[in-house]
Amino acid sequence: MKSLTSLILLAGLTLMVIGASLASAQDTVYLELSNPAKSPIPPNCSTWTEFYPNPGVIHHQDDYVDNSEDGEMAFCDYIMLDGVWNHIEWVGPTYHLSCGVYEPWDNPNPTGDDPTCETWIEIYPEHGNLWHVDGFQDNGDGLISPCDMVLIAGVWCHIDDIGLNIRTKPGTPVDNENKTWGEIKEEFE
């Protein structure tokens, strides 16, 4: 009887963890900068187009906190969209292809050249599918750029455009300058 009770408790705990993970994943919003900025951090009043979960919804950038203080939009910075603070979980390119919209999933190409063997996540039309890049044909400039071709699932796709993409989750900026490590750690638990 004791092992059955333990098994039931374990199953319940597992379902709670899975449910929390799914809820957390559902909070993630994929956005692309609508009016590309000249500076590394888009100015306030920039507009962002949501790709997922509500494709086409336009968001207004009200504020920005450069948490890393590097002068560039980066992971762990904060962006206020439509009056709500969001923690930036990922920053990188959005590839608009003739066969859909994708972003690098596992390890974005830091040199911006051949993406062969990268895994990309499909953002649109079917969000969430992971695809292996099987081949690449450069347009001659030595970089991933418009007019290149990528081979995904046996289909050569034309790169039509490349945009700036971020993934965010709700989150409020924190002033960690005068806090102890224990206080900072509590904010992430």
pLDDT at residue 2 in the model: 47
Which pLDDT band, with edges at 50, 70 and 90, does 189 fall under?
low
Q: What percentage of the chain exceeds 70 in pLDDT?
A: 73
> pLDDT tens digits for 140-165?
999 999 999 999 999 999 999 998 89
Could you tell me if 30 and 50 are in contact, meaning their C-beta atoms sit under 8 angstroms apart?
yes
pLDDT at residue 60 in the model: 96
pLDDT at residue 14 in the model: 31
Q: Which residue has the higher pLDDT, 82 or 16?
A: 82
Which pLDDT band, with edges at 50, 70 and 90, does 77 fall under?
very high
> pLDDT tens digits for 174-188?
765 555 566 555 655
Q: Which residue has the higher pLDDT, 43 or 107?
A: 43
Question: Average per-residue pLDDT in the chain?
Answer: 80
> pLDDT tens digits for 44-66?
999 999 989 999 999 999 999 99
- DSSP for residue 103: E
pLDDT at residue 126 in the model: 87
Q: Give the torsion sign (CA, 173, 107, 129, 20).
A: negative
